[in-house]
Amino acid sequence: MTLFWILCAALVAIAIAFIVYPLWRGAPKRNDVARDAANLEILRDQIAEMDTDLKNGLLTPELYEQGKRELETRVLEEVVPAATTPAGSPSKTLAIVLAVLLPIMSVGVYLVVGDVGALSPANPHAGMSSGGEVRTDTGISALEKRVAANDQDGEAMVLLARSYMEIDRFADSAKVYAKLVKLIPDEAWVWADYADAQAMAEGQTLRGKPTEFINKALQLDPNHMKGLALAGSAAMERGDFAAAIKYWDKLLKQLPPGSEDAMAIQGGISEARQLLSHMKSGGKTAPMLEQIAPPEQMAPAAAGKERITGRVTLDPSLKGKYSPDDTLFVLARAAEGPKMPLAIVRMRVADLPLDFELDDSMAMAPQMTLSAFDQVVIVGRISKSGTAMPQAGDAEGFSVTVKPGTRNVKLKIDRVVQ
């Protein structure tokens, strides 16, 4: 902040110099005496020449008198009497007034229309933008050094944690957030971000610590949008579809109607309602929770039997249209019934083309697994937002309908979501 004001003072001083100096200096002084003397000498010479011409008969008396009168008039016009020279000039007074008023007016205008608070952020999150993450090794190294030098630099810690998320260093991001929640424990956003990072570090599951962090965020701010979004996803993961609907419905009311985010959340609510309806009806499409063994209890042979393998590629027409760091999802969903992923993996566009494997251990909810359905479709999706729900501008591709256990599925991402 001190440096800012020093620079401002220097710039104002330069501006004053440009404006005031010419006024103070005034117009260049003229050597009136020397000029007048030279003019008089020239006029005397001209009169002497006319006298000679009159004596020699080259001029008539009339022409002589006319020429003499003209020379006398020139003397009056060109030779300025010293008495007519101004004794003083208002330029110096104006220069002094401007020198005083210019810095006062500059500071006054800045205090009225400027952002003084930006010089000293009240919290480490101030001035941050969602697109401010650093992705280069040099930039991240600089942030790491900055945080290491000052463990109270909340702004640098936020940027570092988010940058780690961008380059898929989820565990490192979670470690930074663990320090942040100690530095600023009463901010809902930091707990929500911590939950997101911890979930990714633990293999894309919101169970356990991530859920604890989500609950903490909502305790601090019951309407926190990211907290509500994650709470809904956590409820879906544990099969509590009614709770998911409640959280997402509360979130939906805060979003602009018809926006992409609102449409995505509405899609999630619709899926949750379908799943809740299937659970209540006891239909075969989505078996009840108690009928499906959790992934950690699944026999290895059974998991292997239901595994789907294949290769996903990007259509040449879409190459170059997406960043290498954009998120790539490969997921399986039921050919008929709820569209909730039965198995899902997260990668990056830079990984394409790639081989994939999907099995029951990758399910988002215990009762929604590959082995619970007879026919599924494999979906590849490039997400600019990083969320699995399709949004306008994302790219995706679909396989033919296959059975769990199918090998070497061919999947091409070849269309843009409208």
Q: In this predicted structure, what is the pLDDT of residue 202?
A: 81
Rounded Cα distance between 269 and 277, Å, is: 12
Distance CA 156, CA 167 (A): 17
Q: Are 85 and 32 in contact (CB under 8 A)?
A: yes
pLDDT per residue, tens digit, the chain (418 aa), is: 555 566 666 666 766 666 656 655 654 454 555 555 666 667 677 777 777 767 766 667 776 777 777 766 766 665 555 444 444 455 556 656 656 666 666 666 565 555 444 444 444 333 333 445 666 788 888 889 998 999 888 888 999 999 898 888 889 999 999 999 999 999 999 999 999 999 888 866 788 899 999 999 999 999 999 999 999 988 887 878 899 999 999 999 999 988 877 887 887 888 788 777 766 665 433 433 333 333 334 444 344 557 899 999 999 999 888 989 888 999 998 887 667 788 888 889 999 999 999 998 888 766 678 888 888 999 999 988 776 667 778 899 999 999 999 999 999 999 998 7
Longest dimension (CA), the chain: 141
191 touches 222 (CB < 8 A): no
Q: How far does Cα 56 stand from its chain's mean position?
A: 95
Q: Containing H/E element for 310?
A: strand 308-314
Encoded tokens for 175: 């470690």
pLDDT, position 353: 93
What single-letter DSSP state applies at residue 351? G
Domains along the sequence of the chain with CATH: 2-116 (no CATH), 137-281 (1.25.40.10), 295-416 (2.60.40)
- DSSP-derived letter for residue 350 is G
How far is CA 53 from each of CA 42, 56, 68, 75, rounded to the nearest angstrom?
17, 5, 12, 21
pLDDT at position 176 is 93
Distance CA 165, CA 194 (A): 11
pTM listed for this prediction: 0.46
